[in-house]
Amino acid sequence: MALFERLRAAAAADWSLYVEHEFVRQVEAGTLPEAAFRAYLVQDYLFLIQFARAYALAVYKGRTLGDMRAAQAGLSAILDVEMDLHVRLCERRGLSAAELEAAPEHAATIAYTRFVLDCGASGDLLDLHVALAPCVVGYAEIAARLAARQRAPLEEHPYGEWIREYAGEPYRDVAAAARRHLDDLAARAMTERRFAELVVLFGKASRLEADFWQMALDSATAGR
């Protein structure tokens, strides 16, 4: 079994908290309050800045050119694809890129991104990519499921552009490459004892993803 599937199965409860979160359910139904989506977009933009740094760290920590190229591809996907998507979505909601960058980071954003950066700084490349995997692979899986369940065209869905971006082939390719790289790293560096440690990292990252969704819901409820 591929490493990602093993991790997901071993941390099933944490994974479910993330991918079945109420935020995701409301996105699927198109009932998510606009204020919650707006809060999510702002914080996810700041989140991506830190994740770009994580991929830059992965370039530095890469032991082979293949590792470095894989990290560079992830960095490019963030800087050249995901962040552009967020800017487009935010501009339609009256938020400029300058306003996004000036926004303060929420505690949930700090908690998750610094956890990932710490995994990379204190551990090796496998630790770092396991911590990244719930986000990188999870978004593709969530969006594919949401897209498949829609009865009406995504063009008519209030969050259809977001779903389409992460369910589309370019991002699916990013997620598939991340899975393959995890397997390559595991073949070089993983033991069964190490697997148990990686499950802890994967579960923690999944719970922090769930906290990130909750942050957006809570922000909308509080009127922020």
Q: What is the dihedral sign for C-alpha 85, 49, 112, 204?
A: positive
Q: Which of 90, 119, 135, 141 is catalytic?
A: 135
Taking residue 16's Cβ as centre, other Cβ atoms within 10 Å add up to: 13
Question: If you compute the radius of gyration of the chain from its CA atoms, what whole number of angstroms results?
Answer: 17
What contacts 126, CB < 8 A, 6 or more positions away?
A: 182, 185, 186, 189, 190, 194, 198
Instruction: Please report which helix (H) or strand (E) contains residue 20, including its range.
Output: none
Non-local (6+) Cβ contacts of 38 within 8 A are 90, 93, 95
* Residue 213, both tokens: 């969704």
Extended strands (E) in the chain: none
Give the whole-angstrom CA distance, residue 16 versus residue 207: 9
- Catalytic, 135? Answer yes
CA distances from 165 to 82, 109, 111 (A): 9, 22, 26
67/181 Cα distance (integer angstroms): 8
Give me the catalytic one of 28, 82, 165, 209.
Answer: 209
Catalytic center residues: 135, 209
